[in-house]
Structure 1
Amino acid sequence: MFQLTSFEEIAGVTHGIEVLNPSLVARIRRAADQLNRHEIAAHLADAIIEAADAAHVRSFEEAQFGEASADAVVDCEYHDELAAAWSLVAAEHQLVSPDLLFGLDGLVH
């Protein structure tokens, strides 16, 4: 389970995606240029939900079979990167603030 301890850690994760997958971030930024704040927030929420779902599938397979399938691992990694990219873009559009994130008692998923 991912625990938030400081906003600097969140910034490190979201800005790290720019280094790990710059083409994904560029694609998300181009898409966000055509969206309003509510649509960006909706895409971020969808990305977080998909990342959580993929993590649950991976965890289930690991618990049931001792290891996750390659598809589950790849899906989990992709959705994590997609959520990080949308988080970065949301922060750039000032949709994510430390107060909002820490209002969740430090629990993301």
Structure 2
Amino acid sequence: MFHLATFDEIAGVDHGIEVTNPSMVARIRRAADSLGRYEIAARLAQAITEAADAAHTRAFEQAQFGEASADAIVDCEYYDELAAAWSLVAAEHQLITPETILAHDGSVH
């Protein structure tokens, strides 16, 4: 289910969110302008948690019922985009660097 990626691939995802959902990125950037480093990091952590929860719900429904509900699919896509947008903003505020990502084993649990 999870896939390890290089930092360049992760940066490509961040750049992709600017193309696929520029209004979300603009909204997150405006919100981040009034937040400190720790608040931005907390919002990123919350977005990642919500994305993982939505992915687990979708996977559970697929395993249990053969397909996920429309709500589970939409939630999963939304929270993935939200996490990508907060990741982009965190990188712009220099909260994420290749060294911090590579210092972890890649697991999100």
In structure 1, give the amino acid aligned to 2:89. Answer: V
Matches within 5 A, 1:14-93: 14-93=14-93
The 8 Å contact of residues 54 and 72 in structure 1, kept in 2 or not, is answered as yes
Tell me, in whole angstroms, the C-alpha distance in 2 between the residues paired with 1:27 and 1:10. Answer: 21
Q: CA RMSD in A?
A: 1.1
Structure 1: gaps spanning 5 or more residues:
none
The 8 Å contact of residues 44 and 83 in structure 1, kept in 2 or not, is answered as yes
State the shift of 1:98 in Å.
1.1
Q: How many residues align?
A: 109
Report Cα offsets for 1:80-99 as digits up to 9, x if no partner. 00000000000000000111
Match of 1:4 in 2: 4
State the shift of 1:66 in Å.
0.2
Tell me, in whole angstroms, the C-alpha distance in 2 between the residues paired with 1:60 and 1:101. Answer: 28
Structure 2: gaps spanning 5 or more residues:
none
State the shift of 1:6 in Å.
1.3
Report Cα offsets for 1:11-58 as digits up to 9, x if no partner. 000110000000000000000000000000000000000000000000
TM-score normalised over the length of structure 2: 0.95
The 8 Å contact of residues 14 and 87 in structure 1, kept in 2 or not, is answered as yes
Tell me, in whole angstroms, the C-alpha distance in 2 between the residues paired with 1:80 and 1:5. Answer: 15
The 8 Å contact of residues 3 and 107 in structure 1, kept in 2 or not, is answered as no
The 8 Å contact of residues 51 and 83 in structure 1, kept in 2 or not, is answered as yes
In structure 2, give the amino acid aligned to 1:78. Answer: Y
Equivalent residue of 1:88, what SS? helix
Higher relative contact order (CA 8 A, sep 6+): 1
The runs of at least 4 consecutive aligned structure 1 residues that moved more than 6 Å come to none
The 8 Å contact of residues 4 and 10 in structure 1, kept in 2 or not, is answered as no
Percent of residue pairs bearing the same amino acid type: 75
